[in-house]
Structures are given as C-alpha cells and as structure tokens.
Amino acid sequence: MKSMSPVWHPFTQHAVQPEPTLIARGDGAWLKTADGRRIFDAISSWWVVTHGHRHPHIVQAIKDQVDRLDQVIFAGFTHEPAERLARRLIAITPPELEYVFFSDSGSTSVEVALKMALGFWRHRGEKRSRILALEGAYHGDTIGGMSVGERGVFNAPYDPLLFDVERLPFPSAGREQATLDGLNTVCRNGTIAALIVEPLILGAGGMLIYPPWVLAEMKRICETHGVLFIADEVMTGWGRTGTLFACEQASVTPDIACYSKGLTGGSLPLAVTLCRADIFDAHYSTDRTRTFFHSSSYTANPIACAAALANLEIWEREPVMERIGRVAILHTENLDRFRDDRRFTNIRQIGTIAALDIAAADAGYMADIGPRLYQGFLARGLLVRPLGNTIYTMPPYCSTASELDLVYEAIGAIADEIE
C-alpha cells in the first residue's frame, strides 16, 4: 500500500519500507517520537550531530541571529557571521588554506572543489582535466559527486550524466602499495587535475579504514606530479576520526578541503570549501570570464553561519576532545566481545566510528540482511542504519557508557535472532 504522505524520502524504497517514524523532539543523544517513544541516535542522524541534539549554545545563537538578519544575497554583499566564521576556520585549519567558499551541503562542497580544481588548470593554460578517485568512494549525490563516487546501484540510472573518472584500488590491508603505485603511474601522464579522497575511512562505501601513512604518501605523490589533492572531510571532520580533521593524523595539508555535516554541530545545513591562495588567484582577473561561476540561493546563510560560530565556541569552551576520547574507548571495549565471534568479520574502529560485518551469504550495500538489521535495531529503540551487512555506529560525543551498551547488546541479540 502506498503511503498516505506526499513526502518522498531519501534512500528509501517506499514499496518495501514501513511508514517513516514521526519524530517530535530531540535532546542530547536521543530522539522522541510523536507517540512518546525514545530512540537513541547511534548514527548522529546521518553523521551530522556532534555535541547532541539542541545544544543550548547553538540554539541560542540561532535565536539571536534570527532577530538580526535571516538571509541576504551573498553575491556583492556579505555579513558579520560569514566573515567571522571564515576567519575562524582559517585559524583552525592549515595556514596554506587561505580562502573559504560557502555552500549548503557536503555534496555541494565537493562540487565546488572539483570546479575549483578544473578552473585552476584551465585559467593557467594547462590541459589537466582528469579527476582521480578511490574505488568504493562516496562523495555525494550531485552530478560531480556521483561522478567521482563508486559506480553502481547508487547512480546507475544517471550514468549518461556522469563524467569519466580515473580509479585507484582501495588501499586495503596488505595491498596499500598497489594503490600508491597506481597513483604514481597515472599521475605521470600529466593530464590529472586532482585526486579526491575521503581521508582514512570510506563512509557510505562500507566504513573501510586505511592507515595515515598511506594518506601521507598519496599526498606526497600528488605533490611530486603537481596534482591537486582534495580532502573530502565532510564525514571525517569535526572529531569523528579522533582528531579535529582526519588529515591531521597524517600531517597532510590538502590543496582543497571540504567540510560540512558537523560544521554547525548538526543543527543547520552549511558547508565550506577551503583552498590555497594560488587556486583563488587563478580565478582573480579583470577578465570576467575567469569568474568562479558557482552559487546557491542560500550561500552563507547568516543563521547557519551563526550556528557554526556557536559550534566552534563549544569546541573552545567545552572538553569536546575528552568526550571524543571517551567514546572511542567505549567502542574499543565493546567491540572486544565480538572479536572471537564467528558471526562477525572485519571488526574495525577509528575514533568515534566503529563497524563490523555480519558474516552473510550476500554482502554489500544491497544485502537482504540490511533492512532486517535496521528494523531489529529500531524495534529496540535504536537508530542504527546498516550499510547492507555492515553494522556501524557513530554516536554524538555526549553519549554515555550505558547508552552505548544498549547498542552493543542489541548487536549481539539481533545476531542471535538472525542465526
């Protein structure tokens, strides 16, 4: 039976999925349904909520900004929240990143990065127009984001719209050198404009982790061949991997960096793309055809910028890194119970992200076990959205030991039921 609601939900097959759960309220790490049930948000509402739902400092900043300025065109105009936020971001990122371009989603920030890279080479008069990406990557659902992401069920119907991309094998354990050799080889031909990577961990591609030294070596090879290095930190940024940004663990400074999701603490949509000065300078000209032609109606929305500024103040004033460290330790301790359990494989963790695979006959994103796992968690009051047979948890940093115990106890119980 078709839904009575006219709403078409994302990543949802309405023909087989039950009616969506109506959420009325959020508080800390919990959601509350319209009928009074409580649900622990074990995936931070698609990886965006960092400090918990409705953090009072962010909520107050939003209220204050609404009373001053809600929206203004950002072409030819500016406003204090955007100016302050840009300077604050430059202060906490590598000094080589000197310019900030605002957008409104992670996927759009990637689109901006790709256009920056291609514009850079075109305006310098060099014929570099090929993009490199890792196999299994996910960089969003806009045309550029899908093009540099893994081809498959996510984007097969839209293939005629997508541009061709060079692919590198994922640097899985024991095969890292094959990735690096492939990168070195393809960069030699002089046509590569940029390499885009999710630093240290693939997100929607299965929560697959690779070591910092590989990330550092990929950046070194790019520098050797003059290839721009784009770090898609939309998911990995804002403490998820244990440091403020994942690139820090490899001492890597990207040429272009994409940040979103936790930028506002998960309260409002906002994204930024940071770049080196020479990338900005390549577009800086009295020739108006060299303008960076990109925008959205809500670029640098003042309310979203105010929320982001409040988020940065929370990082300064509160022991956020201590909370991140505590969540990471809780993951490690809880994962130990499954390490000798034959029903689970590839148990892994980086920072506040933990994942393990159910040993199933069919694996991957479309594994039939995925919807069963999702419903099993939801029935227990837990928001866990498995990637096929991959179970992962990425909770808000305010999560407690007893709350995470609920998740790990449910993993074991659901595995018992399925077995």
Residue 1 is predicted with a pLDDT of: 62
Note whether residue 8 is domain-resident: no
* Residue with the two structure tokens 């291609």: 118
Q: Which of 119, 121, 118, 110 is nearest to 144 (CA)?
A: 110
Range of the domain at 261: 59-317
Which helix (H) or strand (E) element contains residue 254?
none
Mean pLDDT score, 409-413: 97
350 plus 302 within the same structural domain: no
Give per-residue pLDDT as tens, 63-98: 999 999 999 999 999 999 999 999 999 999 999 999
148 plus 250 within the same structural domain: yes
- Longest Cα–Cα distance of the chain, Å, equals 68
200 plus 308 within the same structural domain: yes
Q: Is the pLDDT of residue 6 over 80?
A: yes
Give per-residue pLDDT as tens, 312-329: 999 999 999 999 999 999
153 plus 254 within the same structural domain: yes
Which residues are paired to 27 by β-bridges?
A: 30
**Domain end position, chosen among 281, 300, 317:** 317
- What is the rounded CA–CA span in Å between residue 109 and residue 236? 14
Q: What global pTM score does this model have?
A: 0.97
Residue 165 is predicted with a pLDDT of: 97
- What is the rounded CA–CA span in Å between residue 112 and residue 102? 9
258 plus 204 within the same structural domain: yes
208: which residues sit within 8 A by CB, 6+ positions away?
136, 170, 172, 201, 202, 348
- What is the rounded CA–CA span in Å between residue 123 and residue 119? 6
327 plus 337 within the same structural domain: yes
**Domain end position, chosen among 317, 346, 377:** 317
**What CATH code is carried by the domain that includes residue 74?**
3.40.640.10
Q: How many domains does the chain have?
A: 2
Backbone conformation region of residue 224, classed left if phi is above 0, alpha if psi is from -120 to 50, else beta: alpha
Note whether residue 43 is domain-resident: no
Mean per-residue pLDDT of the chain: 96
Give per-residue pLDDT as tens, 96-132: 999 999 999 999 999 999 999 999 999 999 999 999 9
204 plus 271 within the same structural domain: yes
Cβ-in-10-Å burial (0-12, 13-18, 19+) of 150 comes to buried
Sign of the alpha-carbon dihedral angle for 202, 139, 236, 247: positive
Backbone conformation region of residue 375, classed left if phi is above 0, alpha if psi is from -120 to 50, else beta: alpha
Mean pLDDT score, 302-312: 98
Note whether residue 45 is domain-resident: no
Q: How far is residue 361 from each of residues 64, 101, 389, 412, measured CA to CA in Å? A: 54, 45, 10, 19
Note whether residue 38 is domain-resident: no
Note whether residue 252 is domain-resident: yes
Q: What is the CA radius of gyration of the chain?
A: 21
**Domain end position, chosen among 270, 286, 317:** 317
- What is the rounded CA–CA span in Å between residue 411 and residue 405? 10
Mean pLDDT score, 130-141: 97
Note whether residue 357 is domain-resident: yes
> Between 245 and 3, where is the model more confident?
245
Find out whether 131 and 193 touch, Cβ atoms under 8 Å: yes
319: which residues sit within 8 A by CB, 6+ positions away?
none
Note whether residue 18 is domain-resident: no
412 plus 305 within the same structural domain: no
Q: How far is residue 83 from each of residues 86, 117, 335, 360, measured CA to CA in Å? A: 5, 24, 43, 51
63 plus 156 within the same structural domain: yes
Cβ-in-10-Å burial (0-12, 13-18, 19+) of 2 comes to exposed
Calculated CA dihedral for residues 274, 310, 353, 92, nearest 10 degrees: 40
- What is the rounded CA–CA span in Å between residue 393 and residue 409? 13
Note whether residue 137 is domain-resident: yes
Q: Which amino acid is at 354?
A: A
73 plus 189 within the same structural domain: yes
Residue 251 is predicted with a pLDDT of: 98
Give per-residue pLDDT as tens, 338-391: 999 999 999 999 999 999 999 988 888 888 899 999 999 999 999 999 999 999
236 plus 209 within the same structural domain: yes
- What is the rounded CA–CA span in Å between residue 45 and residue 37? 17
216 plus 311 within the same structural domain: yes
Residue 18 is predicted with a pLDDT of: 85
Residue 153 is predicted with a pLDDT of: 87
